[in-house]
Amino acid sequence: MNFSRTELQTLAELAKGNTSINTVAEALNKSEKHIYRIVQKLEEKDLATLSTGEIVPKKSTLMVRLIQILDSYPNLIPLLADSGIPILISLLEEKTVEEITKEVDVKKSTVYAFLKKALKISLVKKDGDLYALNEKLWGDVADLLRKIRDIERLLDPRVPYNSVIYYRDRDEVIYSNKYGGDFGKKTGFSVFEKEGIKILLPTTYYYYSEKEPEKELTKEDIFRHVLYVAEKEPSVRHFIFLALFYCKFEGELKDMNHDIVENLKLVLQGERIKGYPSFEEIKEKADMYGIEIKERK
């Protein structure tokens, strides 16, 4: 959800009670035609509507939080504009400049310029090569960014309405849809049965890529897609089936680096980790599928 500077400035005017096109145009030194176009963009984002020359804010949690932030911190508007919000959402977890550039799909020079400004006001903190949002100082901004991220995870023009999105970038989307249909290529838990691990599922998991629509998914692709699901929906059941798939195809997955994988390795060594199944639980399920699992040392 990108905003131009004028879109954010218009929302900030709404926070002040300035709702007429004429008043907002005068306040921002823009033409009324320009503000009409801005309101049309806000309508597309489901944040405001236009009624007889008045801008009517939508009564939504996102709109309330966004207006509060813009009213409290008007100096943030230049940073939040354009790619600012996507970059900050990316920084809800620590990342390097290279990781931010790839995730947000912007030039590295844009990221460096943004970070330079954000560090000056302690909006972002730095630890070595890693950058992250400074939530201790900007907790309310973090709340807004998480709200935007949650909404974006539910919406993507490349997938059907009412899908749950687990991962997306400019090349691919990993999602599920309980109504089925020929939306994309099945992946994740939905193809485990082909590998001898049959699971009763309440939904169907899909992979979609405009760049490689007919891509033959490898074991590593399938496992990576399941990890995206487990990140968003962590459960003992998901972790058990992840462990089964990992053990069955470990030779092809040995180079996978992920916190969930590392924790499962510890479980397979007999350690107890909160939120994860025990070795005995994994072993019991593995026996049902004829997968040999021995406790590792």
Chosen CATH of 5-76 out of 3.60.10.10, 3.50.50.60, 1.10.10.10, 1.10.260.40: 1.10.10.10
What was the pLDDT predicted at 297?
A: 64
* Structure confidence by residue, pLDDT tens digits, 110-143: 999 999 999 999 999 999 999 999 999 999 999 9
* Structure confidence by residue, pLDDT tens digits, 164-203: 888 887 788 899 988 766 668 899 999 999 999 999 998 9
User: Which residues partner with 20 through β-bridges?
Assistant: 54
- Dihedral angle, C-alpha 111, 112, 114, 116, nearest 10 °: 160
Q: How far apart are CA 134 and CA 246, in angstroms?
A: 36
Q: Using a pLDDT cut of 70, give the percent of the chain over it.
A: 97
What was the pLDDT predicted at 296?
A: 66
- Chain Cα centroid distance, residue 217: 22
Mean pLDDT within 56-82: 89
Chosen CATH of 83-150 out of 2.40.110.10, 1.10.10.10, 3.40.50.170, 3.30.70.270: 1.10.10.10
The pTM assigned to this predicted structure is: 0.59
Among residues 154, 155, 135, which one has the least CA distance to residue 145? Answer: 135
